[in-house]
Structure 1
């Protein structure tokens, strides 16, 4: 799902589409019409996939793509918003600016390695 982040050019476009196909399955078969993956309350599946809510938008921003847009993934987008606003989760989220710095460095490393 993160191929868009570690590639450039034509591979970048293909990896973005492949990641979105995976997210579509995640949204339709995993989340469905539920508020959280296991129903109305956060459960183990939400916690297992919870990092998606915080790091994927940061990685997408750095890579210059919009992987999860509200129009394309309305249920998944809404889940991300609910998950991030859940009090216990909100209190423990890492600093966004630190993540931006970290992932900018990681992407630069990946792209440099791909060129060599």
Structure 2
């Protein structure tokens, strides 16, 4: 059963009623389309301002959007410098805490550490 139709597609309403339903659905969709089109045209300048802001900054907060729509550029503060001890480059492979080759048999670790994503 899909959308009220049985597998054999028996029609539970008359052709006249089906036409009325189709006509009303068409009218509702057309009215919603016209309304959306009107809103987009009325707000086109705001949409262009937002598009330019997104092209420049890639992401915008709610406050930044409000500022842009008010004609002000977003105020962005530079990120704080990280603490000195966190400036070391991070390894891309997790460290196990054991030197390589220790406790291995023929180069294969008998108790391998689980790896992310496996």
The TM-score, its normalising length taken from structure 1, stands at 0.25
TM-score (norm 2): 0.24
Larger Rg: 2
